[in-house]
Amino acid sequence: MHDLEIIRVEAAAPRATLVLLHGAWHGAWCWQEGFAERLAGRGISTVAPSLRRHAGSRSPKPLNRLRMRDYVEDLAQVVAGLDRPFVAGHSMGGGVVQMFLGRHDRPPIAGAALLASMPPRGVIAVTLDQARRHPTDFAIANATRDLHRLVRTPEQVRSLFFSPEAPEDLVAATTARLQSESFLAFLDMLVLDRPHPRRVEEPVLVVGAGRDTIFPPADVEATAAAWGTTPVVVEDIAHDLMLDPGWENVADLLADWVLSDFDVGRQVRSASSQRLR
């Protein structure tokens, strides 16, 4: 067991529980600027952990020695303490959720949502794009194994996570809270340990951001195809779809899916059975 920071937002009359898993450089704090409260207003209680060595979570291992499988263990630890929750993972967190889904010994869940998620093929495309756009920072980040180098300035953060219209104070506040990310986890996402989609019984929702510069439409479509479903793309929003202007549309979409009857879930499972063999 690890000492994980967990932020809970309880609905007054809960109809479902949803685990919200953040992406690289972030922490559980990213869901707390309105997103979790909006879900609570719809009757969905949320449980948002910070992965080990992120925000307020601790670990005996240094950050750069952590692997994606360590993050999967964190998610499994949280889910095991709940009664069949839904889970939603953003960006790298979506990769963690996919790896969790691939485990045969995982605790039960009601369904999984992948939000602006890394695709099963990993992060090779965005890595090459960053190397081309920011060769000096990219080279230094790799030489020093300090991935915080890539998200140190508001300009970097806006280009990666936010739309051009995002308020400057939002971008600045997010920049101040971002941290480094595990270099080994980055190598896992690049080539060493990527998700292996398999047929699952639970419904899987794939949501893309129309203005995402990290995982553009081709990646969203690849993720959906791998899980046997059709993606939903929220236009006019960037990668950090829980913070960027228009996040309310994403929260409402997620709430609608969680609270819908399982006719939709059965359709997704049927598609999965046909395509994942």
Q: What is the pLDDT of residues 23-42, one digit of tens each?
A: 999 999 999 989 999 999 99
Number of Cβ atoms within 10 Å of the Cβ of 156:
18
Q: What does the pLDDT read at residue 277?
A: 29
**Mean pLDDT, to the nearest integer, of 233-253?**
97
| Percent of the chain whose pLDDT exceeds 90 | 82
d(C-alpha 113, C-alpha 257), whole Å: 9
How many structural domains comprise the chain? 1
Q: What does the pLDDT read at residue 33?
A: 84
Residue 263 has pLDDT above 50, yes or no: no
Read off the DSSP letter of residue 150: G
Q: Say if 215 falls within a structural domain.
A: yes
Mean pLDDT of the chain: 91
Structural domain span for residue 89: 6-269
DSSP 168-218: HHHHHHHHHH-----HHHHHIIIIIS-------SS-EEEEEETT-SSS-HH
Read off the DSSP letter of residue 118: P
Number of Cβ atoms within 10 Å of the Cβ of 78:
19
59-68, 135-144, 163-172, 179-188: which has the minimum mean pLDDT? 135-144
13-22, 87-96, 124-133: which has the minimum mean pLDDT? 124-133
Angle (CA) 248 98 243, round 5°: 20
Token match 């990219």: residue?
138
Token match 């996919």: residue?
98
Q: Say if 29 falls within a structural domain.
A: yes
Q: Say if 265 falls within a structural domain.
A: yes
d(C-alpha 117, C-alpha 223), whole Å: 8
Here the CATH number for the domain that contains residue 95 is 3.40.50.1820
| Percent of the chain whose pLDDT exceeds 70 | 93
pLDDT-derived band at 176, boundaries 50, 70, 90: very high
Name the H helices within the chain: 35-41, 68-80, 92-101, 124-133, 135-144, 154-161, 168-177, 183-187, 217-226, 247-259, 263-275
pLDDT-derived band at 130, boundaries 50, 70, 90: confident
Q: Sort strands 44-49 and 16-21 into parallel, antiparallel or unpaired.
A: parallel
Q: Say if 275 falls within a structural domain.
A: no
Dihedrals φ, ψ of 33, to 5°? -90, 20
Amino acid at the residue 18: L
pLDDT, tens digit (0-9, with 9 covering 90-100), for 147-156: 999 999 999 9
Token match 């309310």: residue?
248
Strand order in the sheet with 16-21: 6-9, 44-49, 16-21, 86-90, 111-115, 204-209, 232-234
d(C-alpha 219, C-alpha 241), whole Å: 16
Tokens of 5: 């920071």
d(C-alpha 67, C-alpha 79), whole Å: 19
d(C-alpha 269, C-alpha 277), whole Å: 13
Q: Sort strands 44-49 and 86-90 into parallel, antiparallel or unpaired.
A: unpaired
